[in-house]
Structure 1
Amino acid sequence: MNQSMFIVWRESVEALLVIGILQAWISQQSEGSRLGRFLWAGVVLGLLCSAALAGLMLWAGEAMSGPAGEWFQAGMTLVASLLMVQMVFWMHRHGPGLRQTLLRDADQRAARQGGLGLLLLALLAVSREGSETVVFLYGAGAHLHGPALGLFAIGGALGLVLAGLTVMLLRSTRRLISWSRFFALSEVLLLLLAAALLVAAMERIGGQLLAMDMPDWVYTLVGEAWWDSSALLSDSHGLGAVLAGFAGYRATPSTVTLLVLAGYWLLVGRGLYRVQRASL
């Protein structure tokens, strides 16, 4: 539930920000009402494209049974993790100039293609955010069933409500939190969630490897835990469950889990350092 709420909240805020920037641009144009209809047509088409992707992924997951389905879900979870990291790096590079880029694209497309150009810009922007949301949600909820899946859906709905409230708050006052602080905080949470999804994906892959005829060292790497801290902080409930869902914490980590987390944060830290240096 927490994962779906955060994913929908964060992605919806970014989508609403893009729509708000385009709306502000339209309000300054002489044909504002006509362009507004093209904008919202693009938004609706973007949402439909995202819904189609969601349906395709759900169909593919249902069509595959047994090991094939497990490998598919593990692969989608891994893709979701990598996309989250890629999005953080993209925002570091392009976030500060996002408004100027959108306005420039709107001017150019409107000059060349009129309202259809604005429709296409809105379609691409919304479908990109929507597609990311679909992939992230599928990766985070691929292992859920029954009541847990229902709570996951409720979390997504709450995230949508929170996104609307967040945008209203950010537009009404800058004293509590600014856009830059919001994106900085959300990027930290995205990187933590990406780590959690990466661990979940590797565990799914490890489960499939354990079912195969593999050398003994593979079973040792994947199946044997280095320690058991369940008595201090269980990963099945309470704070431990939150850390497990948002940061990849495991009370009984295997060698693969520890190596994956260490390698992940090493690469992410190195990448952020390079991006920071390049921006100076």
Structure 2
Amino acid sequence: MSAGLTLQTFDIASVVWRESFEALLVVGILLTWSARAAPEARGRVTSWILAGAGAGLALALMLALMMSRASDVLEGDGEDILQMIMAAFAAVLMLRMVFWMRAMERGQTGDIANRAVRHVKTGNWLGLATLAALAVAREGAETVVFLFGLMASSQGWQAGFVVAAGLFGFVLAAISFWAFKTGSKLISRTVLSRVSEVLLLILGSGLTMLVVDKVISLGIFSAMTEPLWDSSRLLDDGNGFGAFLAGLVGYRARPELLPLLSLGFYWLIASLAYAPPLAGKAPA
């Protein structure tokens, strides 16, 4: 296999791995953490989350069809606006999930299972199902459009190569998901919570930068400055591992001021989840 073909395989597989693993990871975190938090409601919670994932898969196919026919279905910048709204909604839901998990941890001295069950009764599990649906829909639609775009521009054996590289990326995502699920059974609830929170925040960071990129490209806000530095010689965000980090955590080799301020604001909001409560219990 030539160096160029090897690099193309890595690029395709890494994109599919990232998109698929992000969706599987969110679903896995919801299933694993929710089952530990509310064992009495495991069946109901699992049903809600899997139903959300199934709905997300159906929505992914619909969104992929819409985006592939954007010129007929959406006018002007409609496709970019749709992607921006979905990414923003997903980032907010991931932040909300982290805040919810932190609140549950602070209540561990009480009956945490009953608290989680009360969340089910008050409808918060519907929000988690929505997060699962949105994660699957957004990542699934982008993966389908990405692969079909490559296949449409390929001929003969090249189309089969795209499919094979895509399947390889999905297999890697499935193996990564299995490793996460297996590890979650072997580690403590506290460690699992920390790992889950960090992964959710990282995914939310990447989504935040995607939203900012769309806002700038649509002309809603300006970038405020020219690129403040250029680290593309060290790690280019347009291909290879740099592109992987760009999609996953929001890395930019030539960042302007607005993306940096937006990313800083995101992490400032996220840090509030770990701030001590403003009012503690009065001493006895």
- Shorter chain as denominator, the TM-score bin is 0.5 to 0.7
Partner deviation per Cα, 1:29-73 (whole Å, 9 max, x = no partner)? xxxxxxx8x998767655543334434544554432431111111
Among 221, 224, 228, the residue aligned to 2:224: 221
Q: Answer whether contact 2:94 2:131 (CA < 8 A) is retained.
A: no
1:3 aligns with 2:5: no
Counterparts of 1:269-280 in structure 2, within 5 Å, are 269=271, 271-274=272-275, 276-277=276-277
1:207 aligns with 2:217: yes
Task: Measure the CA separation in 1 of the matches of 2:269 and 2:39.
Answer: 39
AA in 2 matched with 1:253: P
Shift of 1:237: 3.4
Task: Measure the CA separation in 2 of the matches of 1:268 and 1:43.
Answer: 24
Q: Answer whether contact 1:85 1:190 (CA < 8 A) is retained.
A: yes
Shift of 1:261: 1.7
Q: What SS does the aligned partner of 1:250 have?
A: coil
Q: What SS does the aligned partner of 2:230 have?
A: coil
Counterparts of 1:36-51 in structure 2, within 5 Å, are 45-51=51-57
Shift of 1:136: 5.2
Partner of 1:127: 129
1:85 aligns with 2:95: yes
- Judged with a 3 Å threshold, the aligned counterparts in structure 2 of structure 1 residues 126 and 52 are, in CA distance, closer, same or farther, namely farther
Counterparts of 1:2-151 in structure 2, within 5 Å, are 2-17=17-32, 25=40, 45-58=51-64, 60-61=66-67, 62=69, 63-94=73-104, 99-102=113-116, 124=126, 127-134=129-136, 137=139, 144=146, 146-147=149-150
Task: Measure the CA separation in 1 of the matches of 2:201 and 2:128.
Answer: 22
Counterparts of 1:184-199 in structure 2, within 5 Å, are 184-199=194-209
Q: Answer whether contact 1:81 1:197 (CA < 8 A) is retained.
A: yes
* Equivalent pairs, count: 245
Task: Measure the CA separation in 2 of the matches of 1:255 and 1:5.
Answer: 31
Q: Gaps (5+ residues) in structure 2?
A: 1-14, 152-161
1:235 aligns with 2:249: no
Task: Measure the CA separation in 2 of the matches of 1:56 and 1:9.
Answer: 19
Partner deviation per Cα, 1:218-240 (whole Å, 9 max, x = no partner)? 65626x32222212222123443
Shift of 1:140: 7.0
State TM-score, norm by structure 2: 0.65
- Judged with a 3 Å threshold, the aligned counterparts in structure 2 of structure 1 residues 47 and 67 are, in CA distance, closer, same or farther, namely closer
Q: Answer whether contact 2:20 2:170 (CA < 8 A) is retained.
A: yes
- Judged with a 3 Å threshold, the aligned counterparts in structure 2 of structure 1 residues 137 and 64 are, in CA distance, closer, same or farther, namely same
Shift of 1:13: 2.1
Q: Answer whether contact 2:64 2:144 (CA < 8 A) is retained.
A: no
Percent identity between the aligned chains?
Answer: 25
Partner of 1:33: none
